[in-house]
Amino acid sequence: MDAAAIELDQVSLGWRDRVAVRDVSGAFGRGTLTAIVGPNGAGKSTLLKGIMGVLNPLRGEIRLAGDPGRDMACLPQSGELDRSFPISTFDLVAMGAWRRVGAWKGFGAAERERVWQALDTVGLADFAARIVGTLSGGQLQRALFARLLLQDAHTLLLDEPFAAVDRATTEDLMALLRRWHQEGRTVIAVLHDLDMVREMFPRTLLMAGQAVAWGPTAEVLTPENLHLARHLCAGDYR
């Protein structure tokens, strides 16, 4: 594996008296395309929140290469977004330029052109003036991918990026993930579709409150490992 973009050393995560992720160790290599999978309640999203810095480890250490503020971008679950705020699709995408532009530099013609290019890439150029709350689920997800394009980060974390979107949208957005991977970026996505993972993701981390298996996808998604993950999440094994 290449040099690590993210290293986990005996990491445990949770809230107060609840530990959702226990003793995970391993590394996401730079430029790798990795799926995080597992049953409901496996700690997949919790692990992403720990990497993002939203949750501090209860134990262990998370080490990130480079400057996380500049080198990492995140796409949260769509259900975590407030769609009631009256912001246009253009402005939502433009928020991805915040790290470059800041509060005082102003939003010039070059950045506006970046926004239009990103909107065109995801097929939303005709929806720039639409209020975000009027977009369909698939259109909103396209807009969020366009915002990631504006962020231009080296490491991308995506939490269920294809949830509740149609097949055409999924195919278009998956093509973007593959493009980012081909550009040498590190892409990590929480996913549920194991067939997609087997076809599209070279590496997989299988979670069940702990790391059941982590490595090449074909070696991770075995019937034995999946069976173990289900039973661990059901509390059958301790």
As a whole number of angstroms, the distance between CA 158 and CA 75 comes to 5
Of residues 134 and 105, the one with the higher pLDDT is: 134
Structure tokens at 107: 């939003």
- Mean predicted confidence (pLDDT) in 58-78: 87
In whole angstroms, give the CA distance from residue 112 to residue 94: 8
Q: For the chain, which residues make up each domain, given as ranges?
A: 4-234
Q: Which one is the CATH code of 4-234: 2.60.40.1180, 1.10.3470.10, 3.40.50.2020, 3.40.50.300?
A: 3.40.50.300
Torsion of CA 75, 42, 27, 192, to 10 degrees: -50
Q: What is the pLDDT of residues 19-32, one digit of tens each?
A: 999 999 999 999 99
Neighbours of 29 (CB within 10 A): 14
Burial of 235 (0-12, 13-18, 19+ CB in 10 A): exposed
Both tokens of 30, joined, read: 């730079």
Confidence of residue 236 (pLDDT cuts 50, 70, 90): low
pLDDT band at 238 (very low <50, low <70, confident <90, very high): very low
Task: Write down the pTM of the prediction.
Answer: 0.91
High-pLDDT (> 70) share of the chain, %: 94
Mean pLDDT of the chain: 91
pLDDT at 105: 60
Which residues contact residue 18 at a Cβ distance below 8 angstroms, ignoring those fewer than 6 apart? none
pLDDT of residue 113: 94
Phi/psi at 214 (5° precision): -150, 120
